[in-house]
Each structure stands twice: as structure tokens, then as C-alpha cells.
């Protein structure tokens, strides 16, 4: 079995002012992921979380002016905003047999945005 939670870079990786409630909930999801991974490993169930960074969706680009979006893209080392398929590919991998030895992990999908 596989359990894959969708978290965010906001909270478990970095904080964002004005998003305290969101950051808290996404960080809590990572704690849940780690604890549950330990509880269900004996049943051959893996539990992981994916933490997307800036991803191009209507919810993240609606109402954002062009200058703000361009500033975000400049901060991403790979030079583009993420696509939903970037996240989906990681989820598909974690759901596969190839990821059977990965559990309790947070996989960041952000194009290097949070790399220091």
C-alpha cells in the first residue's frame, strides 16, 4: 500500500508571512506523514509527502500581477514555474513499486526555489 500526502514548501521548508495558518497545517501534515510511516510500515505500507513549490495553477496565478510572477520565476534556479505534471510525476513514482523502500519522507518539488 501507498499513502502520499500533498504538503507544501510553505511550512515544513520555509515560512511565509501572512500564511501562518497554511504553513502550520502543511508542517503538521509532514509530522503526520512521519509518524504514520512508522506505524504502518509493518503492514508493507509506505507513507510519504510531496511539497510543491510555485506551481502554475489557476489558484496560484489568478490575481497575481505579471511583475510578481516574473519575480518568482527569477527566484527559481531552473528558470520556470512548475507545472502540475512535475508534481504528478513524483506522486506516480512514490505510488510505484520502485519506491517501496522510501517511507516517511518529504519530497520537495520546487525547481530549486528553496535551495540555499
Known catalytic residues?
Answer: 22
Q: What cell was used for 1?
A: 500500500
Identify the bridge partners of residue 2 per DSSP, sorted by sequence position. 46
- Residue pair 7/49 in contact (Cβ under 8 Å)? The answer is yes
CA distances (Å), origin 44, targets 37, 63, 74: 10, 44, 42
- Residue pair 12/114 in contact (Cβ under 8 Å)? The answer is no
Amino acid at each position: 500500500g501507498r499513502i502520499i500526502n500533498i504538503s507544501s514548501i510553505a511550512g515544513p521548508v520555509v515560512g511565509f508571512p501572512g500564511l501562518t495558518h497554511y504553513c502550520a497545517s502543511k508542517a503538521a501534515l509532514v509530522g503526520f506523514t512521519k509518524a504514520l510511516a512508522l506505524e504502518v510500515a509493518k503492514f508493507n505500507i509506505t507513507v510519504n509527502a510531496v511539497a510543491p513549490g510555485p506551481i502554475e495553477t489557476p489558484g496560484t496565478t489568478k490575481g497575481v500581477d505579471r511583475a510578481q510572477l516574473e519575480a518568482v520565476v527569477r527566484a527559481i534556479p531552473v528558470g520556470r514555474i512548475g507545472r502540475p505534471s512535475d508534481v504528478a510525476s513524483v506522486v506516480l513514482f512514490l505510488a510505484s513499486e520502485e519506491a517501496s523502500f522510501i517511507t516517511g519522507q518529504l519530497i520537495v518539488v520546487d525547481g530549486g526555489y528553496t535551495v540555499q
